Amino acid sequence: MEESPGGPSQKKVVAVVGGGLVGALNACFFAKRGFDVELFETREDIRQAKIVRGRSINLALSHRGRQALKHVGMEEKIVSQGIPMHARMIHSLNGKQSPIPYGKKGQYILSVDRANLNKELLTGKNINGMKLMCRVNFVFLRSDGSEEQVEADLIVGCDGAFSAIRKQFLRRSRFNYSQTYIPHGYMELTMPPINGEFAMKPNYLHIWPRNTFMMIALPNLDKTFTCTLFMPFEEFEKITTGDEVIEFFQKYFPDAIPLIGVDALKRDYFRLPAQAMVSVKCSPYHIGSKCVLMGDAAHAVVPFYGQGMNAGFEDCIVFDEIMEQFNEDFSAVLPEYTRVRVPDDHAIADLAMYNYIEMRAHVNSKWFLFRKHIDNL
């Protein structure tokens, strides 16, 4: 048996790289098993930060994500801070709204605040503390420029779609890797409350499908909605003045103009450039018994299936189950994790790509409504 860097009688050390959603949850899983967990994150600690930047303001938490939260005793708390969405609410061009349920009566997904979820997970039980560092070649660079050589029994790469840990895998033979940028970008806009109340029905994921592009809106606890406009980059770039923004919304999303507000639309459209979306597939997810990838570092997916974070959370639970099965023997656990997890994560990536078309084009077609009817039987 290999000796832990901390010595024969010491607890095994796990270095989790990336304190985003998946890294923070993973740290809770390892801590629950009694490992000595060190969490490395490049960003300022978001629990103290005034402005928190992330990949989206809110996101949809579904069953697979909830199961993982339940495992570390955090499901109830997170669910109590989310807003149930029982159905999609389809907005037609003429302003008509039609609900399409997500499942059977009583089933729903939850709109949760990304920053709050991340903070709750970082405050999760038994994490020794977070080190804010930037890593290069498994030597971690502190924010003051000095280096720290980290010795750990296991390095877990949870450092997102542009993972620095994954870069080390690229140097190795028989590592498969592909990445695809889709032609669409996304931009977030805020729909404020009206007279202190939600501007639209809150318990829905609102969708404006417009074939080559679409807008969606998820509710927040402060009674705002975060609207996300998905559109090819070239379309974003065609709009260069405030008046053109209004003209565009008038043509495609007329019912949203009074709800977001003319001045806010003219201003916020130009606040930040549209963001890119990438799909990443790779295999294997591990190197020997020392290093493993999880979350977006292993499988960034386009957001149209609402499953990127949920699949990353499921990675943690699957890994934990395999740890149990193989008595925490990393040399057996890591290959088994790759064997079990790669096909499922690749399937999620494919489904997300498929839903990229379905959500904006088919969601209001007769075919889609027929399929949903069959699904709900």
Contact residues for ligand FAD, defined by CB under 6 A: 17-23, 40-43, 55-56, 59-60, 134-135, 158-160, 164, 186, 228, 277, 295-297, 303, 306-310, 312
The first and second tokens of residue 151, run together, are 């010795």
Residue with tokens 């690229």: 170
Query: At its nearest, how many Å lie between ligand FAD and the CB of residue 90?
Result: 18
Look up residue 44 and give its two tokens: 């300022």
Q: Pick the closer one to ligand FAD by CB: 36 or 296.
A: 296
Q: For residues 54 and 242, which CB has a smaller minimum distance to ligand FAD in the complex? A: 54
Cβ proximity to ligand FAD: between 158 and 323 the closer is 158
Least distance from ligand FAD to the Cβ atom of residue 134, Å:
5
What one-character DSSP code corresponds to residue 3? P
**Minimum gap (Å) between residue 205 Cβ and ligand FAD:** 9
The nearer residue to ligand FAD, 195 or 283, going by C-beta atoms, is 283
Cβ at position 115, least distance to ligand FAD in Å: 11
Complex with ligand FAD: residue 81 or 332, whichever CB lies closer: 81
| Contact (Cβ atoms closer than 8 angstroms) between residue 20 and residue 158 | yes
Task: Determine how many CB atoms are found less than 10 A away from the CB of residue 365.
Answer: 12
Residue whose Cβ sits closest to ligand FAD: 20
HEC sequence for 102-133: CCCCCCCEEEEEHHHHHHHHHCCCCCCCEEEE
Task: Tell the smallest beta-carbon distance from residue 313 to ligand FAD (Å).
Answer: 8
Of the chain, the end-to-end C-alpha distance in Å amounts to 54
CA dihedral for 102, 116, 52, 41, sign (positive or negative): negative
Question: For residues 111 and 364, which CB has a smaller minimum distance to ligand FAD in the complex?
Answer: 111
Q: How far is the CB of 290 from ligand FAD (least distance, A)?
A: 17
Q: Are strands 176-191 and 36-41 parallel, antiparallel or unpaired?
A: unpaired
What's the helix, strand, coil split of the chain in %, to 5?
A: 40, 30, 35
Nearest distance from C-beta of residue 241 to ligand FAD, angstroms: 25
| Chain-centroid distance, C-alpha 310 | 7
Q: How far apart are CA 160 and CA 164, in angstroms?
A: 9
Nearer to ligand FAD, 265 or 280 (CB): 280
The whole-angstrom separation of Cα 274 and Cα 230 is 9
Shortest CB 3 distance to ligand FAD, Å? 27
Nearest to 316 by CA among 74, 3, 132: 74
Per this entry, what is the length of the chain? Answer: 377
C-beta neighbour count of 4 within 10 angstroms: 17
